[in-house]
């Protein structure tokens, strides 16, 4: 880095330090976004509102109901006494699920002629939540069946024989917390938004103030100007990344399982790619309003929808999967999840770093060409 590039970087740092509000937003707003998104975007379904219509009113029916309400997944929100109250409970959102226990439940449970049946009426408006509730009630019913079989066999002096014992082990996220899956995506989304927006406004601010003309007549070449403008924001984005990681640890108990060196290298390359995109936006736009709009559109929407942050890329149509390659966040999220969650080495994601490097070359090269044409 030569003296002219350092001079531009120092000038940009001094301008940032003078703008206290801007510095506050750049340094602390990402942590605020992480907290808001981390708590708001959560796929864990707990405390399901359960209404109960127990027509049997026996010890076994109460035991079955208690097996549901004793967990953190179900909360009994209403006791139903008549048939017509079932639809009302679902219509008025008093319950997400209604359990109906028939009159002959206990009789059939101990009998040998018929199965003891229960009915779950689930609100299916939200298909994802309804599927999760269905799985929960299925697991709870299976657990009740297993305990009841052990009880009956124990009375007869026998033991329950299970030919195949299933013992699933969840790797990397044993508690199956959605936060641990989402936090890496949130880090990528927040970093690209702050990097692209802040850098794009920087050069456009010079245009609006008229100081860009003084820079144009100086001995600076286009590449030196762009690099000098980007360097302070790269440093600030790295500081933001540290703040976000610390906040993720304290707020959501997300720890880095792998190498911090690999995490730093991946983050640095991604931030450079993001600031390169911001430079391209600043070269194209002629006002801060236009720059902010383009930067937000180019960073927020792709990183939210097309990066694999929330929606799995493998489940998208083939053409949309090709379209996901337009955002650097897609490749950075793969790196983050590999290092933070799985704790793997460089051999598992080095291709992603190559793609991010290609973004840097493309964005900086295109920005340099456009600015030279505009200055000519």
b/e string for 290-309 if b means 16 or more Cβ within 10 A?
Answer: ebbebbeebbeebbbbbbbb
Region of residue 25 (left: phi > 0; alpha: psi -120 to 50; beta: else): alpha
- Determine the pLDDT at residue 216: 62
Residue spans of alpha helices (H) in 121-177: 127-155
Where along the chain do its domains lie? 3-42+177-375, 48-155
From the CB of residue 2, how many other CB atoms can be counted at a distance below 10 Å? 9
Interatomic CA distance for residues 44 and 31, integer angstroms = 22
Name which residue leads in pLDDT, 91 or 207. Answer: 91
Q: Over pLDDT 70: what percentage of the chain? A: 94
Question: What are the tokens at 227?
Answer: 């690099």
Q: Residue 50 has what DSSP assignment?
A: E
Interatomic CA distance for residues 106 and 98, integer angstroms = 19
- Determine the pLDDT at residue 218: 66
pLDDT greater than 90 at residue 52: yes
- Band (pLDDT 50/70/90 cuts) for residue 194 is confident
pLDDT greater than 90 at residue 14: no
Range name among 6-15, 55-64, 233-242 with the lowest pLDDT average = 6-15
Interatomic CA distance for residues 125 and 95, integer angstroms = 13
Give the architecture-level CATH label for domain 48-155: 3-Layer(aba) Sandwich (3.40)
pLDDT digits (tens, 9 = 90+) for 121-178: 999 888 888 888 999 998 888 888 888 878 777 777 667 666 676 777 778 877 777 8
- Determine the pLDDT at residue 38: 79
- Band (pLDDT 50/70/90 cuts) for residue 212 is low
Q: Over pLDDT 90: what percentage of the chain? A: 28
- Determine the pLDDT at residue 265: 95
Range name among 51-60, 222-231, 260-269, 334-343 with the lowest pLDDT average = 222-231
pLDDT digits (tens, 9 = 90+) for 298-327: 898 898 889 988 888 988 899 999 999 999
Question: What are the tokens at 214?
Answer: 């003084």
- Determine the pLDDT at residue 327: 93
- Determine the pLDDT at residue 213: 61
Range name among 101-110, 218-227, 332-341 with the lowest pLDDT average = 218-227
Name which residue leads in pLDDT, 216 or 131. Answer: 131
């Amino acid at each position: 880095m030569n003296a002219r590039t350092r001079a531009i970087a120092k000038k940009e740092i001094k301008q940032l330090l003078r703008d206290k509000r801007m510095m506050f937003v750049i340094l602390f707003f990402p942590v605020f976004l992480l907290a808001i998104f981390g708590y708001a975007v959560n796929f864990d379904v707990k405390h399901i509102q359960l209404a109960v219509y127990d027509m049997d009113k026996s010890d076994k029916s109460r035991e079955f109901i208690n097996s549901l309400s004793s967990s953190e997944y179900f909360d009994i929100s209403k006791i139903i006494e008549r048939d017509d109250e079932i639809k009302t409970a679902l219509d008025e959102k008093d319950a997400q699920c209604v359990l109906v226990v028939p009159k002959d439940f206990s009789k059939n449970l101990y009998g040998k002629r018929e199965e003891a049946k229960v009915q779950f009426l689930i609100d299916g408006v939200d298909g994802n939540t309804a599927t999760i509730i269905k799985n929960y009630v299925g697991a709870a019913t299976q657990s009740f069946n297993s305990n009841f079989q052990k009880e009956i066999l124990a009375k007869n002096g026998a033991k329950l024989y299970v030919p195949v014992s299933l013992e699933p082990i969840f790797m990397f996220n044993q508690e199956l917390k959605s936060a641990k899956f989402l936090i890496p995506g949130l880090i990528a989304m927040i970093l690209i938004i702050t990097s692209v927006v802040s850098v794009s406004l920087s050069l456009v601010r010079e245009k609006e103030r008229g100081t860009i003309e003084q820079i144009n007549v100086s001995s600076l070449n286009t590449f030196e100007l762009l690099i000098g403008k980007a360097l302070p924001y790269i440093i600030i984005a790295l500081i933001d990344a540290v703040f976000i990681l610390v906040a993720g640890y304290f707020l959501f108990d997300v720890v880095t399982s792998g190498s911090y060196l690999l995490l730093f290298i991946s983050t640095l390359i991604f931030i450079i790619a993001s600031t390169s995109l911001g430079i391209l936006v600043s070269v194209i736009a002629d006002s801060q309003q236009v720059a902010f709009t383009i930067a937000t559109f180019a960073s927020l929407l792709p990183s939210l929808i097309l990066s694999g942050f929330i929606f799995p890329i493998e489940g998208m149509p083939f053409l949309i999967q090709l379209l996901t390659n337009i955002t650097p966040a897609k490749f950075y999220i793969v790196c983050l999840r590999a290092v933070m969650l799985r704790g793997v080495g460089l051999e598992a994601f080095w291709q992603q770093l190559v793609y991010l490097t290609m973004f840097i070359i493309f964005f900086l090269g295109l920005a340099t060409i456009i600015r030279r044409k505009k200055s000519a």
